[in-house]
């Protein structure tokens, strides 16, 4: 298979990286975890994805930051005791492979697939692929196809970490309705009209907003468009970052997660497919 000319392949500490540069943007994808690590549009040369400076990039554990792929469950919602199965599923801790790539007049497209999709906790036959398009926007699409004879139910998310200068100056726009607050025993609360992050935040927004804008210092920085989802998850560990081994104690000030997710159980019949898409628009 020939590789698109905009892609340079690199390897470090046993991990293979796809470094993409075209007329519109630069990006980096790790084949360990099927993980987008960086996206820098050339219109303003601002990094949109946050990557922890303490991220472990040796293949020993999932990489902290970028766009982790959560599948076939979200968080520890796998029906077992917490810790018995890997949090957020098993795709983000395996080696993926590049199956196709192409350059177009609008950017670069790659398709990658995981080594396996059947493991402890998910005993079903299916195909999974991640399509990443790097152009004036970054489009990430996770597709699941049921290849078996029985239906199954799964959850999934694109757990995107966005980089900001200072979380104190960040405001989210576009979220409405109720959310489930993990920090308060999953209490149902109303989304604030003035949406700022001022404490530990771990919320599943049940109104599946199609567009969320990340504002900083009163200006729009990034618009996040979503489809195929039933929830938007917002996460910032706040001072709890100090207890996260692969995150700086003050790293929470430079990031916010706005995640395109299915958290309420999506059922897929034989030969049916589900497509989860997140589009990152520099504003």
Catalytically annotated residues: 159, 259
DSSP 148: S
Per DSSP bridges, beta strands 107-114 and 96-104 are: antiparallel
* φ, ψ at 183 (rounded to 5°): -75, -10
* Closest by Cα among 36, 27, 25 to 66: 36
Residue 83, classified by CB atoms within 10 Å of its CB into exposed (0-12), middle (13-18) or buried (19+), is: exposed
Rounded Cα distance, 175 and 161, in Å: 17
For 78-218, list the strands marked E by DSSP.
96-104, 107-114, 126-135, 138-146, 152-158, 161-163, 170-173, 178-181, 187-190, 195-196, 201-205, 211-216
220: helix, coil or strand? strand
Q: How many other CB atoms are found less than 10 A from the CB of residue 48? A: 24
Rounded Cα distance, 174 and 165, in Å: 21
182: helix, coil or strand? helix
Element (H, E) at 274: strand 273-282
Task: Please check whether residue 161 is in contact with residue 264, taking contact to mean a CB–CB distance below 8 angstroms.
Answer: no
168: helix, coil or strand? helix
């Amino acid at each position: 298979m020939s590789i698109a000319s905009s892609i340079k392949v690199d390897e470090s500490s046993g991990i293979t990286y796809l470094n993409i540069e075209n007329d519109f943007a630069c990006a980096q994808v790790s084949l360990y975890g099927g993980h987008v690590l960086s996206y820098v549009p050339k219109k303003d040369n601002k990094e949109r994805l946050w990557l922890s400076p303490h991220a472990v990039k040796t293949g020993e554990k999932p990489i902290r930051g970028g766009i982790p792929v959560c599948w076939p469950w979200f968080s520890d919602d796998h029906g077992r005791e917490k810790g018995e199965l890997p949090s957020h599923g098993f795709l983000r801790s395996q080696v993926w492979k590049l199956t196709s790539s192409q350059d177009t007049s609008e950017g670069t497209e790659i398709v990658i697939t995981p080594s396996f999709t059947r493991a402890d906790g998910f005993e079903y036959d299916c195909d999974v692929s991640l399509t990443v398009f790097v152009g004036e926007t970054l489009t990430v699409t996770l597709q699941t196809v049921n290849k078996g004879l029985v239906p199954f139910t799964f959850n999934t998310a694109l757990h995107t970490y966005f980089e900001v200068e200072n979380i104190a100056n960040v405001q989210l726009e576009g979220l409405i309705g109720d959310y489930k607050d993990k920090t308060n025993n999953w209490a149902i609360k109303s989304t604030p009209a003035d949406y700022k992050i001022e404490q530990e935040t771990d919320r599943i927004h049940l109104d599946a907003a199609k567009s969320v804008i990340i504002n900083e210092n009163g200006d729009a920085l990034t618009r996040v468009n979503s489809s195929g989802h039933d929830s938007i998850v917002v996460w910032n560990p706040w001072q709890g970052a100090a207890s996260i081994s692969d995150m700086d104690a003050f790293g929470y000030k430079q990031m916010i997660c706005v995640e395109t997710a299915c958290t309420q159980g999506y059922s897929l019949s034989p030969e049916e497919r589900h497509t989860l898409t997140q589009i990152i628009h520099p504003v």
